[in-house]
Amino acid sequence: MKNLFFLLLMCVAMGVQAETLPDNIYFRAMQDEMNRSKKELRVKGSAKPFYIAYRVRRPSPSQEIAADLGQLFPLQEENKFTGVGISVYIYAGDKQNNSSGYEDDYYARTVLAGRTGDSYESVRDALWQLTDLEYVKASNVAEKKEAYKRRKNVTQEPADFSRAPQGKYVEEIAALSPRAVAQYAPLLQALSNQTAAYPYLEQYQIAVRQGQTEEYFLDSEGDFYQLAIPTSQVTFQAKWHTKDGYSEGASVSFPLPSENEENFIRERAAQFLQQMQRSRQAVKGAPYLGPVLLMPQAAGGYLNQFFVRNVRHAKPLLSAVHDTDASSGRFRDKMGMRVISPIFDVFDRPLLRQYQGKPLLGFMPVDGEGVAAQELQLVSGGKLKALPSSRSLVPGQKQSNGHGRMGNQYPRPTVTNVFFEPTNPLPTDQLESELLTRCREQELEYCYIFHVFPGQAGADKLATAERIYTQDGHKEPVYGLEWTEVASGSLRDIWAAGAEKEVFNSVENGVPVSVVAPALLIDNVELMVTQKQPDQKPFLPLPN
Amino acid sequence: MKKYIPLFLLLFSVVCAHAESCSVKTELPLQLMGQELKRSFTVLKKQNPPIYYLSYTYKEGENWGLEMSLGGVQAQYHTGVSVAEVQARAGSPALDNTRALKGEWQNFKVEGIEGAPAVSAENSKAFKRAWWRATQKAAEQAQKDFSRVAANVRTMSQTKDQSADFAFPPVVVTYCQTQAPVSVDLEKVKALLQEASKLPAGKAYVLDSSFSFSVQQGHRYFADSRGTRLKTPYAYVRLMYSLSTRAKDGMELERFKDYNVFSMDELPSEKQLIADVKQSLAELEALSQAPEGEPFTAPTILKGKAAAVFVHEVLGHRLEGHRQKDDSEGQTFTGKTGRQVISPLLTIVDDPTLRSFRGSALRGYYLYDDEGVAARPVTLIENGVLKNFLMPSSPIAGFNESNGHGRRETGARAVARMGIMRTTASQTVSYEELEKMLLAEIKHQGKPYGFIVEDLGGGFTYTGTSMPQSFKLQAKMVWRVYPDGRKEVVRGLDVVGTPLVSFNKVIAAANDDAVFDGSCGAESGWVPQTNIAPSLLLESLETEKTKKSGYKPPVLPSPLTEQGDIK
């Protein structure tokens, strides 16, 4: 029943498995240069190019409209086009041993990328030059990796590159709807003009940007995909002074849904102002040890930091720089162990584009190594059941499950859209009363409810928390709290979760991930207080 | 860091068509700026330390751009510009927050900026709040900087030049000029560049090519606590292309060209542009096959624009006023007024008010500098004798007031900069005669060859005392000239030397004045500038090898050279 309900809420990717490469200048240029490089690209005495992949990204001309304190800006941006982005990566060597999975500097980890014009000639020319540079780099890395393995007596099983189900996905790409951003003008003017209720606002801007990015991929195994990624978003930006004299500013962006955008903007604007209002009225927090309630957005940030970052990159990089690959997740060798509270099943669903009408940034039908992406059950009853894998497997994995994701760096196994499904979810008001009960048991004067996870990019200037007092349940906004935990132990201290889930999006090293999470009740959380001092008060009052 | 001054060959023109006068009293941005400035200054001048001078600068306009490569659009934009900036001076004119700190990195950046997306004056509430925020930031930073300066003055050695840090402008000015924007037809430019940008395709010796067009236009509003109120237009239109390759030994080679126009109609025709690109391609091919030059000292002609770049880099920066009072500067010309400092053949005048020269619009043109002072022509060197310096509002010994050369980029603090620097010679010959004089000099010195430098590109001038106070300029197009008159292109040479020696080696000049428009980067950021100079014959000039990239040309040839491969 739960799964049926779930399916009803989701929009499944509408693209199709395709057998033939679409005909456009990008695929023609990629195919032509790929064929030539496979056949002719060699440097005598160096490792040959074993695997070649091309990714072309063409952003649509973007449009933006913005308003500040009730009036539109005269001109922001009109049909801005930033060129066609090209990424090329090559594994030099062979199936067993190649240049992948090794680093000796930042350059060795980073995929070569460039920008070019939107003609066949310019795309082809860019592919040619980047392929050449990438091959020289890959063959050098392959030699350095071999030398490292000899020096460290590294024997490697399984092979660096495994065969996998072919990824072929094509969706029709329609030009971005010419629905002008001007349609948002009245809404933005009205929303940004809410200064009567917030007279202390020094600036309050709302901007809507419309855009999409077409993405084309081809590799030397014959895998390919073509899709469009929506990049429309709304951004809220405000500046104010807190009662204690801190000069604060916050800027928060959200991807725009494809439908009911205006309602979405209204909701987010209300949330943003509410958070800002809390920040304005907030009192400084105090050190704390006890239970907390994370509301869904805060829970998303928390799970992103402590679960998502630990479930990725199962195979550490061989590194001549570091003894331990810090980017490799802590769950890599915890298969079958309890990594999170037993109330959770956790799924990774790369083929979903939306959840309850909200965009999921992790959508990915084919991964960055051309492998068809598969849904995974990562956790069952709190125990780790599966890890995302790429073509470069770890012992125990049979083949890639299509999670070799590429951002700015070479493909590595990472999750996409992570869904946290609790057993016996509770309504929000019950979560609050559960929290109060637990706090009273621990004889605490108050406990904390977080709306934004502390340290979350862009929102860190907003008051992130509220105190809820055990005596009468009244609430008080608080600022300046820091989450001290750096490991993932508290995942196992979650004792209840909410029924309503929200989407939390993040991007790291160019890899977007969506976390779909409910509110969480967590025991034994330790909080510290920021050392930041108040700013000098303004010399002058706000002008009229 | 500030001791070297890179120069970019960015060329474009000042457009002054359709200018109309207006009134500073009715311009809404100036009205609102004036109100907020007055309100702020009344309070800030009573602070401790006091803010004794405050200025507001507001830029409102638009930027257009188009970049193309091999027939494809690489970038295209049309964006609004709206930037509010506040400059505050804390302390007193005798000692304020702008004084150069000894033994520390100097702070030439300013804090009081509300950049894009800033606001329009039409939204008076948001506009005034932007100024309020920027004023607070600028005042706080000025007070913080003043404490650093005061501590620095107490603890470090005394500066030789004890001049004040600021001189109020001698006259409080108001000026208002409005200009209709250039009508930009981006599709027309796209069509123009479409064909031209395809020409490098299929040329094995071309590795990279880019074609671009840009327009920056709008108005600058200036108000200060003395009552200065200015509205001045700005408009820069530019079309350029760059072609480059890599030789087998890893040396990067480039040809570059750009155009100044007054309006869209005056952009080069497709026929003209294609002819120019073909010429540049031929030059690049010749360079790619040319022998590598050797370090050598020989008689040299700096031809046309190359002479203008040479004057700018080697001499111009050393005539900037603020360098004369900074003890960490080389001060090549400090205290030498009235003395012969360069060849008596040459006279150098900087006149930012010169709007055009022989039909060419001049990019360095302006009527008021970035400190609100009226620009005026300044004779810097007359018949080789030093007469004056380029002066901002910071006085130096013997020169107590600004001559309208305080300039800066958005976000930086103004220092002395060039505007339109013109070099003239008391005696000139035709260029053909100058080449004959070169051959005679080569024979006279018994040299196996001399040089004609046709194109000087970017380079560096070190004016500080922490490094050799020399220059190094990239010679992009150089001919070796043999005693029999034969010429041969060579690649891979930089022109190097020191200023006093080099400018005393000028022995003749031609009557072929050339205009070099560029953007120059220094302590106060990138500012548009123009240099005008005739071809110069130097008794000798030193060259040295340029750097190489270390990369080979690509393993495979360009796919676009394969017949029938272009789809």
Residues contacting residue B454 through CB under 8 Å, at least 6 positions apart: B303, B304, B306, B477, B478, B479
Q: Do A538 and B68 touch (CB under 8 A)?
A: no
In this complex, the residue of A32, A115, A207 whose CB is nearest that of residue B565 is: A32
pLDDT at A228 over 90: yes
For B144, the closest chain A residue by CA position comes to: A536
A70 touching chain B per CB within 8 A: yes
Option in B67, B117, B129 nearest A66 (CB): B117
- Please give the residue of chain A at the shortest CA–CA distance from B40: A540
The mean pLDDT value for B409-433 works out to 95
> What residue has token string 């002066």?
B391
Q: Cβ of A128 and B119 within 8 Å? A: no
Distance from CA of B76 to the nearest CA of A (A): 5
User: What does the alpha-carbon distance between residue B459 and residue B516 come to, in Å, rounded to a whole number?
Assistant: 15
Any alpha helices (H) in B156-269, and if so which ranges?
186-198
What pLDDT, on a 0 to 100 scale, did the predictor assign at position B118? 54
- Percent over 90 (pLDDT), chain A: 55
Give the pLDDT score at B109: 57
Residue B16 has pLDDT above 60, yes or no: no
Picking from A457, A478, A455, A482, the residue whose alpha carbon sits closest to that of residue A467 is A478
Residues 6+ apart with CB under 8 A from B510: B428, B429, B430, B431, B433, B434, B534, B535, B536
Among B106-115, B176-185, B186-195, B401-410, name the one with the lowest average pLDDT.
B106-115
Cβ distance B68 to A117 less than 8 Å, yes or no, reads yes
Instruction: List pLDDT tens digits, range A43-101.
Output: 988 889 999 999 999 998 878 888 888 878 765 666 678 899 999 999 999 998 999 99
Question: Among B190-204, B513-527, B552-566, which stretch is predicted with the lowest mean pLDDT?
Answer: B552-566
Angstroms from A71 CA to nearest CA on chain B:
6
Determine the average pLDDT of the residues in B505-513. Answer: 96
Who's near B416: CB < 8 A, 6+ residues apart? B320, B321, B322, B323, B389, B390, B391, B392, B405, B406, B407
Q: Which residue spans of chain B are classified as CATH 3.30.2290.10? A: 15-289
Q: Give me the residue label for tokens 């991929």.
A: A217
Instruction: Give the pLDDT confidence of B94-119 residue by residue, as tens digits.
Output: 999 999 887 766 555 555 566 544 56
- Top-ranked range on mean pLDDT: pick from B158-167, B327-336, B344-353: B344-353
From chain A residues 169-228, the ones with a CB under 8 A of any chain B CB are 195, 202-203, 205, 207
Does position B206 have pLDDT exceeding 90, yes or no? yes
How many percent of chain A have pLDDT more than 70?
92
- Cα B30 from Cα B521, distance rounded (Å): 29
The pLDDT score that the predictor gives to residue A29 is 97
Average pLDDT over residues A412-417: 96
pTM of the model: 0.87
Residue B459 and residue B15: Cα distance in Å, rounded? 28
Q: Answer whether B80 sits within 8 Å of A77, measured CB to CB.
A: yes
Query: B122 contacts in A (CB within 8 Å)?
Result: 71, 74
Question: Per-residue pLDDT tens for A298-315?
Answer: 999 999 999 999 999 888
Closest Cα in chain B to A249: B133
The structural domains of chain A, with segments of one domain joined by +, span 13-61+77-175+214-228, 177-210+232-271, 287-529
Higher-confidence position of A105 and A493? A493
Distance from CA of B135 to the nearest CA of A (A): 9
Mean pLDDT on B346-369: 93
B405 min Cα distance to partner chain A (Å): 32
| A13: pLDDT strictly greater than 50 | no
Inform me whether the C-beta atom of residue A75 falls under 8 Å from chain B C-beta atoms. Answer: yes
Q: Which of A121-125, A392-396, B58-62 has the lowest mean pLDDT?
A: A392-396
How many beta-carbon pairs under 8 angstroms link A with B?
A: 168
Average pLDDT over residues B134-147: 92
ipTM, two decimals, is: 0.82
Q: Superfamily assignment of B15-289 in CATH?
A: PmbA/TldD superfamily (3.30.2290.10)
Q: Return d(Cα B37, Cα B223) in angstroms, integer.
A: 8
Contacts of B36 in chain A (CB under 8 A): 543
User: Of A95, A94, A126, A90, which is closest to residue A108 (Cα–Cα)?
Assistant: A90
Q: Cβ–Cβ of A543/B36 closer than 8 Å?
A: yes
B4 pLDDT above the threshold of 70: no
Residue-level pLDDT at A10: 39
Q: What is the mean pLDDT of chain B?
A: 89
pLDDT at A467: 95
Q: What is the pLDDT of residues B233-260, one digit of tens each?
A: 999 999 999 999 998 888 999 999 988 7
Compute the nearest-CA separation of A65 from chain B (Å).
10
Quick check: B129 and A203 CB within 8 A? yes
**Per-residue model confidence (pLDDT) at position A77:** 63
When the pLDDT of each residue in chain A is averaged and rounded to a whole number, the result is 88
Confidence of residue A257 (pLDDT cuts 50, 70, 90): confident
B136 contacts in A (CB within 8 Å)? Answer: 538-540
Residue contact A125–B559, C-beta within 8 A: yes
Angle at A491 between CA A490 and CA A493, to 5 degrees: 60
Q: CA of B82 to nearest chain A CA: how many angstroms apart?
A: 9
- Partner B contacted by A88 (CB < 8 A): no
Distance of residue B327 Cα from the nearest chain A Cα, in angstroms:
35
Residues of A with CB below 8 A from B121's CB?
Answer: none
Chain A CB contacts of B74 under 8 Å are: 83-84, 115-118, 122
- Indicate whether A11 pLDDT > 50: no
> What residue type is B98 in one-letter code?
T
pLDDT at B17: 46
